[in-house]
Structure 1
Amino acid sequence: MRTAHDHLSVRNYGASHGSHDHDHFQILIGLGGVLELELAGRGQRITAGQGCVVPPGERHDFEARHGARCLVLDSHASDWARASKAPPSPAALALASYLARACTEQLPRARHIGPTLLLEAWLPPTTTLATRPRRDIDWEALARWALSRASSSPSVSELAARVHLSAAQLAARCRAERGQSTQQWLRELRLAQARAWRDEGVTVAEVARRSGYRSPSALTAARRRAGI
């Protein structure tokens, strides 16, 4: 299902090294050149006709020494968690070529329905997914654990491992049950704890250290952005 946050684009990557994470799924399909990607400690090369799904919260490094061109879908649709372990199907690769043209030629209807079609095409029709019992998440216990390690800024993957889920599964559950991304939920926890420490008279510098911010100014900026 397409969400208001879905965005299709064609991107050109160069030799400059990049590294980031985001609170949504990012789907990459190679159109030309070679994109070197390191995801969750594993390296892979995305060439024309290859693709991958980057789960929310997973930091990834990337570069294209000789240039690369990719179709990129940024999506908050939780169903991409089902496709994160599977390579794109031939149907998805064929569709990607058309969607790349839709992006470059500014075809609005194709770009609107493209994210939904790409998700449907990614997994082969014969793929069946086993239904597993849904594990409840004790959000209060998870919050206590995260705050006890706030100074080291636990990653989304570490949070997910704590409740025996993948980062993608935790991201989908957080949006469904908390109405926000995992990173937003964690950020609000840290800022609320920081405010409590300040109310107790703890110095800004010490609060920043305890809550995992690089400096007092970084903490102040985070609080300003959050309106606290």
Structure 2
Amino acid sequence: MPSVIRKIPLDTATHHHAHDYHQIVIGLRGQAEFEIEGLGGEISALSGCIVPANHVHYYAGMGNNQQLILDLPAQAPALTGFQHELSHLFDAPRFFTLDDPLRRYLDFLLHELSSLAMRTDNHQSDRLAATLLGCLHARLTNGAEPSQRQRLDLQRLDCYIEHHLSDRLSVGDLARQACLSEAHFRRRFREQVGISPWQYVRRKRIEAARHLLDDSRLPLTEIAALTGFSNQSALSRACRDTFGHSPSRLRRTVQREGSQVAQALASPPLSS
């Protein structure tokens, strides 16, 4: 399936959708606003954004605007074969600005787009798209490996998990925080952290539950609910798997040790 290049204005009303092909939008005139899976930004002339396939995005034109839009199916010639590395441009949404060489290439692309040869040659769109993608890839990735190009912000993810620990967190929820598709997020997370996102969230849940067991007198059912376990039995299984003891046993051990420390502090010192 070939790439498609078109020039259109965007409606000034806000719309949203997702599609099964990648997209690059470059401003030619006026301005437009985009929000791609939570990542927001504004496009003006000679700046643009990358919209990965299946990412929900909101968009609206502002006044008299015109955009150059490239629709790029995953199996388009511009993204396959020896050019398959260019598909990494769509690992995550992002905004960019064209430098001087790319602005000159954009002028050439627009000239070709208006020519008769472009309308009669079904392969010219892919040739033009491949050159643009190659130049963007060189500028936005700097030749780095995928895992080095954009490391996950674990501090942000930890904060999100902490504030939603009692909710039914999904990998999709975390992927949206990183502005990645779920598949890319799973792969990049395991590369960076060494375990799956689900294992990471489970570890955060059990750490929070142990803290509440040690430092509070909350009932076990409430601790289970606050830390995202489906019920007290699920919390008990997790404690046995991780610490080798039930929650009640862990709590008694901490209380006994605390009592012994308190008694030692309260005992009068031995006279010499």
* Category of TM-score, reference length = shorter chain: 0.5 to 0.7
Distance of aligned partners of 1:20 and 1:166 in 2 relative to their CA distance in 1, 3 Å threshold: same
| 1:34 correspondence with 2:31 | yes
Distance of aligned partners of 1:169 and 1:101 in 2 relative to their CA distance in 1, 3 Å threshold: farther
Q: Which one has more relative contact order, counting CA pairs under 8 Å at least 6 apart?
A: 1
Counterpart of 1:144 in structure 2 is none
Secondary structure in 2 matching 1:68? strand
Counterpart of 2:230 in structure 1 is none
Distance of aligned partners of 1:43 and 1:132 in 2 relative to their CA distance in 1, 3 Å threshold: closer
Secondary structure in 2 matching 1:64? strand
TM-score normalized by the length of structure 1: 0.53
Deviation at 1:43?
2.5
Identity of aligned residues (%): 23
Deviation at 1:61?
1.1
Counterpart of 1:100 in structure 2 is 110
- Deviations 1:172-209, CA, capped at 9 Å, x for gaps: x9xxxxxxxxxxxxxxxxxxxxxxxxxxxxxxxxxxxx
Deviation at 1:102?
2.1
Distance of aligned partners of 1:62 and 1:83 in 2 relative to their CA distance in 1, 3 Å threshold: closer
Root mean square deviation of aligned Cα: 3.5
Distance of aligned partners of 1:69 and 1:86 in 2 relative to their CA distance in 1, 3 Å threshold: closer
| 1:46 correspondence with 2:43 | yes
* Equivalent residues of 1:83, 1:122 under 8 A apart: no
Deviation at 1:89?
4.5
Distance of aligned partners of 1:83 and 1:60 in 2 relative to their CA distance in 1, 3 Å threshold: closer
The higher radius of gyration belongs to 2
Distance of aligned partners of 1:79 and 1:127 in 2 relative to their CA distance in 1, 3 Å threshold: same
| 1:80 correspondence with 2:50 | no
* Equivalent residues of 2:41, 2:95 under 8 A apart: no
CA–CA distance in structure 2, aligned partners of residues 8 and 45 of structure 1:
21
Total equivalences in the alignment? 147
Deviation at 1:168?
8.1
CA–CA distance in structure 2, aligned partners of residues 38 and 131 of structure 1:
23
* Equivalent residues of 2:17, 2:57 under 8 A apart: yes
